[in-house]
Amino acid sequence: MTRQASLFGAAAVRDGRSPEGAITVSDLNAAARGTLEKRFGDLWVRGEVTNWTRSSAGHRYFSLRDQERDASVACVFFRGDAWRLPADPEDGMEVFVHGRPTLYARQGRFQLRVRAIEAAGEGLWRIAFKRLRRQLAAEGMLDPERKRALPAFPRRVGVVTSRKGAALHDIITVLKRRAPWVEIVVSHCRVQGEGAAGEVRAALQRLADWGAGSPDRKLDAIILSRGGGSMEDLWCFNEEMAVRAVTSSPVPVICAIGHEVDVTLCELVADVRAPTPSAAAELAVPDVRSVRASLDTAGRGLARGLRRLITRGSDRVEALAQRLPVSAGHARDVAKLRLETMAARLPAGMERVFARSRTRLAGLAAALDALSPLETVARGYAVATDLEGRRLTRIDDFTPSQRFRLRVEGGQVAATADAVERDAAGPAAVQPDAGQPDAVEPGP
Helices (H), 234-328: 240-247, 265-269, 277-284, 288-323
Domain C-terminal end among 227, 251, 286 = 286
Return the higher-pLDDT residue of 131 and 266: 266
Residue 308 confidence (pLDDT) above 60: yes
Point out the least confidently predicted range of 93-107, 294-308, 385-399, 411-425.
Answer: 294-308
Please work out, in degrees rounded to the nearest 5, the angle formed at the alpha carbon of residue 291 by the alpha carbons of 308 and 251. Answer: 125
pLDDT digits (tens, 9 = 90+) for 52-69: 888 888 888 988 888 778
Find, among 194, 217, 192, the residue nearest to 437 by Cα.
217
Q: How confident is the model at residue 424 (pLDDT cuts 50, 70, 90)?
A: low
Point out the least confidently predicted range of 120-124, 219-223, 239-243.
Answer: 120-124
> Does 282 share its domain with 161?
yes
- Answer yes or no: is 274 within a domain: yes
Share of the chain above pLDDT 90, in %: 27
> Does 222 share its domain with 277?
yes
Regarding beta strands 272-273 and 383-385, do their DSSP bridges make them parallel or antiparallel, or are they unpaired?
unpaired
Strands (DSSP E) found in 198-251: 221-226
Residue 5 confidence (pLDDT) above 50: no
Q: State whether the Cα torsion 213-217-220-222 is positive or negative.
A: negative
Q: What is the pLDDT of residue 199?
A: 95
- C-alpha 87/C-alpha 439 separation (Å) is 35
> Does 367 share its domain with 384?
no
Q: How confident is the model at residue 4 (pLDDT cuts 50, 70, 90)?
A: very low
Q: What is the pLDDT of residue 278?
A: 94
> Does 431 share its domain with 318?
no
- Domain with 193 in it: what CATH number? 3.40.50.9100
> Does 83 share its domain with 40?
yes
> Does 346 share its domain with 406?
no
- Answer yes or no: is 140 within a domain: no
Of 54-58, 160-164, 414-418, which one has max mean pLDDT? Answer: 160-164
Residue 381: strand, helix, or coil: coil
> Does 158 share its domain with 259?
yes
> Does 320 share its domain with 417?
no
- C-alpha 75/C-alpha 114 separation (Å) is 7
Residues in the chain, overall count:
444
Q: State whether the Cα torsion 171-174-176-182 is positive or negative.
A: negative
Q: How confident is the model at residue 432 (pLDDT cuts 50, 70, 90)?
A: very low
- Answer yes or no: is 131 within a domain: no
- Answer yes or no: is 132 within a domain: no
CA distances from 150 to 93, 97, 183, 290, 419 (A): 44, 46, 16, 17, 47
> Does 153 share its domain with 259?
yes
CA distances from 60 to 48, 52, 67, 87, 122 (A): 15, 7, 21, 12, 22
- C-alpha 280/C-alpha 283 separation (Å) is 5
CA distances from 186 to 250, 284, 307, 427, 442 (A): 17, 15, 50, 21, 11
> Does 311 share its domain with 331?
yes
Residue 298 confidence (pLDDT) above 90: no
- Answer yes or no: is 9 within a domain: no
Share of the chain above pLDDT 70, in %: 86
- Answer yes or no: is 5 within a domain: no
> Does 153 share its domain with 281?
yes
Residue 1 confidence (pLDDT) above 50: no
Q: What is the pLDDT of residue 440?
A: 66
| 22 residue type, one letter | A
- Which of 259-265's residues contact partners 24+ apart within 8 Å by CB, and which partners? 259/228, 262/228, 262/234, 264/234, 264/237, 264/238, 265/129, 265/132, 265/133, 265/136, 265/237, 265/238
- Overall number of domains in the chain: 4
Q: What is the pLDDT of residue 255?
A: 96
- C-alpha 35/C-alpha 37 separation (Å) is 6
The neighbour count for residue 172, using CB atoms within 10 Å, is 18
> Does 309 share its domain with 410?
no
- Answer yes or no: is 331 within a domain: yes
Domain C-terminal end among 313, 345, 371 = 371
Return the higher-pLDDT residue of 149 and 311: 149
Find, among 318, 323, 358, the residue nearest to 335 by Cα.
318
pLDDT digits (tens, 9 = 90+) for 309-356: 888 888 787 777 676 665 566 777 788 888 888 878 878 777 787 788
Residue 168 confidence (pLDDT) above 70: yes
pLDDT digits (tens, 9 = 90+) for 13-44: 677 778 877 887 778 778 888 887 788 888 89
Regarding beta strands 109-119 and 71-77, do their DSSP bridges make them parallel or antiparallel, or are they unpaired?
parallel
Q: What is the pTM of this model?
A: 0.55
Q: What is the pLDDT of residue 256?
A: 94
Residue 8 confidence (pLDDT) above 50: no
- Answer yes or no: is 141 within a domain: no
Q: What is the pLDDT of residue 174?
A: 94
- Domain with 62 in it: what CATH number? 2.40.50.140
- 47 contacts 39 by C-beta, under 8 angstroms: no
Q: What mean pLDDT is reported for the chain?
A: 82
- Domain span including residue 363: 289-371
Domain C-terminal end among 371, 388, 420 = 371
